[in-house]
């Protein structure tokens, strides 16, 4: 198998003699050289060929080198290609402008072929090292993402829990987390939390909380007792400044009773089978911050086909609109009311479609659960 690696250099200069000099000096050292005598042709070749490095003349008629750099850096396909600019101008301002636009180095004209070769070599080495580091980090973060996502149950895992879900992490390590707990044949627990931060440390918190839920959400503890025990442990183990807002719903489908525990979390939407959609608002302290935390509690009689929507604040908050979940949830109540006749499994995705226009960039993690009795 031929494992020879060929590096491609795009040389851009309106001076044909300079181009020939660059071509010959690099080709005899094993490089593949592409040539362009103007900016538009250079951008075309860069987009089509994705060279490993670009040697770019600054002073060209029509579209100058500064304009070419800007176009290349604005294009996601060519933005990471290292660019060395060729210049006969020695003013510092001109060089600084090139660096500011994204060039990695410059060569002053008239240049010596050996200098060109040396600078090409060093910046290709740097580019290879940087790309390798990026790939390595991306792979590690991908593993973190996959590990965290694998902890999140799906409706297929718990067919008797009757829930639909939408989950999207803004970064590789999401701060939102949910879990489904089969407490008995007729009792199911639903937990949704939003952790402070979106770093790697936050993703490890997910595993800890999941273990605590499994240990403490059992038939021998009431929902309030379960959350108190979990809080007491989190106060001891969480790093300073870390906490969770959370909502825990305990549903007994035999007795048609529901207990809702709120720990500083947005309200839950109740869509009764008969009656008006409304918000179940309950104040409570956050999880993991206070040893003597007091949580909000609501006890409800429920009916078959009632629906409940639980969500993280990413669904309703907007930094751009300066909207908090306290105000945003009320604003979105009309959208929640539209969900009445939609199957519960489809409601989370339908809400996202209604609230966020296509191609909207999310400003925070989002988790939405819809539960049907």
Residues 26-40: what's their mean pLDDT? 94
Instruction: Tell me if 84 is assigned to some domain.
Output: yes
The CATH number that applies at residue 309 is 3.60.40.10
- What lies within 8 Å, CB to CB, of 2 at 6+ separation is none
Q: Tell me, yes or no, whether 235 and 133 share the same domain.
A: no
Give the pLDDT mean for 34-44: 94
Measured CA to CA, the distance from residue 179 to residue 361 in angstroms comes to 26
- Quote the domain boundaries for residue 35: 8-142
Query: What's residue 245's pLDDT?
Result: 92
- The answer as to whether 2 is a domain residue is no
Instruction: Please indicate whether residue 313 or residue 46 has the higher confidence score (pLDDT).
Output: 46
Same domain, 263 and 168: yes
The string of pLDDT tens digits covering residues 194-247 is 887 655 555 567 778 888 999 999 999 999 999 999 999 998 888 777 888 999
State whether 121 and 184 are in the same domain: no
Q: Which segment of 9-18, 44-53, 106-115 scores lowest on mean pLDDT? A: 106-115
Residue 94 and residue 122 in one domain = yes
What are the pLDDT digits (tens) for 290-309? 888 999 999 999 999 999 99
Q: Which residue has the higher pLDDT, 118 or 128?
A: 118
> pLDDT tens across 94-119, in order?
888 888 999 999 898 888 999 999 99
Query: How are strands ordered across the β-sheet holding 176-182?
Result: 176-182, 187-195, 244-252, 257-263, 296-301
CA–centroid distance for 154 within its chain: 20
> Mean of the pLDDT values across residues 42-49?
94
| Cβ–Cβ < 8 Å for 107, 89 | no
Q: What pLDDT was estimated at residue 336?
A: 93
Q: What is the pTM of this model?
A: 0.63
Q: Are residues 105 and 219 in the same domain?
A: no
| pLDDT per residue as tens digits for the range 76-99 | 889 989 999 998 866 778 888 888
Q: Which one has a higher pLDDT value, 147 or 72? A: 72
Report residue 1's pLDDT band, with 50, 70 and 90 as the boundaries. Answer: very low
The answer on 184 and 128 residing in a single domain is no
Tell me: pLDDT of 150 over 90. Answer: no
Residue 129 and residue 157 in one domain:
no
pLDDT of residue 171: 57
Q: Confidence class of residue 318 from pLDDT cuts 50, 70 and 90?
A: low
Is 1 within the bounds of a domain? Answer: no
Strands 53-57 and 8-12 come out as parallel
Q: Is residue 260 part of a domain?
A: yes
> Of 108, 142, 176, which marks where a domain is finished?
142
Please identify, among 142, 167, 188, the residue that sits at the C-terminal boundary of a domain. 142
Q: Please state whether the peptide bond connecting residue 110 to the residue before it is cis, i.e. omega within 30 degrees of 0.
A: yes
pLDDT at 256: 96
Are 286 and 255 part of one and the same domain?
yes
Work out how many domains the chain is built from and give that number: 2
Helix (H, G, I), strand (E, B) or coil at 75: coil
Residues 173, 79 within the same domain: no
Say which residues have a Cβ less than 8 Å from residue 62's Cβ, sequence separation at least 6: 38, 39, 40
Q: Is residue 148 part of a domain?
A: no
**Could you tell me if 301 and 237 lie in one domain?**
yes
Judgement on whether residues 210 and 283 belong to the same structural domain of the protein:
yes
**167 and 134 share one domain:** no
Q: What is the mean pLDDT of the chain?
A: 86
């Amino acid at each position: 198998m031929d494992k020879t690696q060929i590096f491609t250099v795009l040389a851009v200069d309106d001076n044909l003699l300079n181009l020939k000099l660059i071509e010959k000096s690099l080709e005899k050292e094993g490089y593949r050289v592409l040539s362009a005598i103007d900016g538009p042709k250079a951008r075309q070749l860069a987009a089509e060929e994705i060279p490993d490095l670009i040697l770019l003349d600054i002073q060209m008629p029509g579209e100058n080198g500064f304009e070419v750099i800007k176009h290349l850096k604005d294009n996601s396909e060519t933005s990471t290609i290292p660019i060395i600019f060729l210049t006969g101008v020695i003013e510092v301002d001109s060089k600084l402008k090139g660096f500011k636009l994204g060039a990695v180095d410059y060569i002053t004209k008239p240049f010596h072929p050996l200098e060109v070769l040396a600078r090409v070599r060093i910046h290709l080495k740097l580019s290879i090292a940087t790309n390798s580091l990026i790939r390595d980090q991306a792979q590690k973060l991908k593993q973190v993402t996959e590990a965290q996502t694998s902890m999140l149950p799906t409706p297929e895992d718990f067919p008797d829990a009757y829930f639909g879900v939408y989950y999207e992490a803004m970064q590789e390590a999401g701060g939102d987390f949910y879990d489904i707990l089969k407490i008995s044949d007729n009792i199911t627990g639903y937990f949704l939390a939003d952790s402070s931060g979106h770093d790697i440390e936050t993703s490890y918190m997910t595993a800890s909380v999941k273990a605590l839920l499994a240990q403490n959400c059992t038939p021998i503890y009431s929902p309030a007792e379960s959350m108190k025990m979990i809080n007491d442990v989190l106060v001891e183990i969480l790093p300073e400044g870390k906490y969770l807002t959370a909502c825990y719903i305990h549903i007994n489908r035999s007795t048609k009773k529901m207990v809702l525990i709120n720990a500083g979390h947005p309200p839950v939407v109740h869509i009764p089978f008969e009656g008006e959609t409304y918000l179940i608002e309950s104040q409570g302290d956050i999880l993991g911050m206070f040893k003597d935390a007091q949580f909000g509690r609501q006890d409800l009689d429920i009916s078959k086909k009632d629906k409940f929507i639980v969500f993280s604040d990413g669904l309703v908050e907007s930094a751009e609109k300066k909207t908090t979940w306290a105000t945003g949830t009320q604003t979105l109540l009309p959208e929640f009311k539209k969900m009445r006749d939609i199957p519960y499994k489809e409601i989370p995705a339908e809400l996202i479609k209604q609230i966020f226009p296509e191609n909207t960039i999310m400003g925070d993690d989002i988790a939405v659960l819809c539960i049907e009795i």
